[in-house]
Amino acid sequence: MNTENTETERGINSGNDNTPITQTTRDGNGPPEETSTTNSRDDINSFITVFGKIRKTVRGLSFDPLFAVRLFEKFLARSRSILTPALFESISDWFIIMGHATLVTMSGLSLLFWVMAAIKQSRGVYILYGAGYAILFLVLQFSAWKFMKAGKTLVQNSPSRLASDAFLDCLALLSGIAGILLFVNFLTYSEWSYFWTGIAAWVICDLIAYIALNPSLANISLAKEAGAGEEAIGIISFFVKAFMRIVPIAFGTGVSLFMVALLMGIFTLFGRAGNEFDGKSAIDRAALYACLPFASYIIFALYHLIIDILRAILIIPVKLDQLNDRKG
């Protein structure tokens, strides 16, 4: 007899009081209902459907999570097409010529300054100072000319390798941003000296970025087979060689700026007592900038001695392997 409600049938097993309980459908036939499993499957299918719709919507928007990377890649490529190695060489040569012309002018101005100081202070020994500085600037010009050419030759004869352009590209971007931030930071100070310091820091950072965009200026090439040790040497070499390439620009800029400072010192020499020390400071600093080519040459030569020692150490395992192979 069929009833409308689900019935529970108990079977009697011989020798066992615990009988299994089986739940049948309303008509007494078929498997048991699996409502919880069906609901779970429906939830999963709904989630997959919604996720698929969201994915299609995102794809329809053409969203590129690497858009900033592609933007910087285009910016670097555009910068390389404008800031070429030939342009850098032209700028460097122009600053070298300007520096040499300034040193000749400084020779005459320093003599004039000390003669005027001797008249003001009634000290004839100042004339000897003037003659000494006049000769010194001519000697420094000769030194700068010789060591500028020698330094460039050293860079050309000292190749280095990097495994990829990752370091150079990132350095170019970071140097450009650092230059702007340094300039803005120095603008917060009220003194004019900080303003010029900020300008100098900005220019130096931009020059480093320029050379990073064109590693051939530092005689650095890209080679995928370069190892970790050679990569480290290449990174260190970049900064030393970049310094060597910046020296001509710093040389021309420094001596020119302090020549202007010396002119101001000459014009104001009779303005107040003791003012000759302002002009002397300008002369001394111009002489220091004139020594940059000589100093950079010595630094680079000593640095390369260290690099050659490091390369010799790195190549020892390779040589030992070759000897073992020959013995084997």
* pTM > 0.85: yes or no: no
Task: Tokens for 172, please give them.
Answer: 């170019």
3-state SS record for the chain: CCCCCCCEEECCECCECCCCEEECCCCCCCCCCCHHHHHHHHHHHHHHHHHHHHHHHHHHCCCCCCHHHHHHHHHHHHHHHHCCHHHHHHHHHHHHHHHHHHHHHHHHHHHHHHHHHHHHHCCCHHHHHHHHHHHHHHHHHHHHHHHHHHHHHHHHCCCEEECCCHHHHHHHHHHHHHHHHHHHHHHCCCCHHHHHHHHHHHHHHHHHHHHHHCHHHHCEEECCCCCHHHHHHHHHHHHHHHHHHHHHHHHHHHHHHHHHHHHHHHHCCCCCCCCHHHHHHHHHHHHHHHCHHHHHHHHHHHHHHHHHHHHHHHHHHHHHHHHHHHHC
Rounded CA-CA distance 144/106 in Å is 14
pLDDT tens string, the chain, 328 residues long: the values are 444 444 444 443 444 444 444 444 444 455 555 555 666 666 677 777 777 777 666 565 566 677 788 888 999 999 999 999 999 999 999 999 999 999 999 999 999 989 888 888 778 888 998 999 999 999 999 999 999 989 888 888 888 888 888 899 999 999 999 999 999 998 888 777 778 888 888 999 999 999 999 999 999 988 888 778 788 888 988 999 999 999 999 999 999 989 998 888 888 877 655 567 778 888 999 999 999 999 999 999 898 888 888 878 877 776 777 777 777 6
* CB-facing half-sphere around the CA of 301: CA atoms within 13 A: 10
Rounded CA-CA distance 101/109 in Å is 12
Rounded CA-CA distance 291/282 in Å is 14
Any residues with CB less than 8 A from the CB of 145 and at least 6 apart, and which?
100
Rounded CA-CA distance 115/131 in Å is 9
Rounded CA-CA distance 11/22 in Å is 9
**8 A C-beta contact, residue 103 and residue 137:** yes
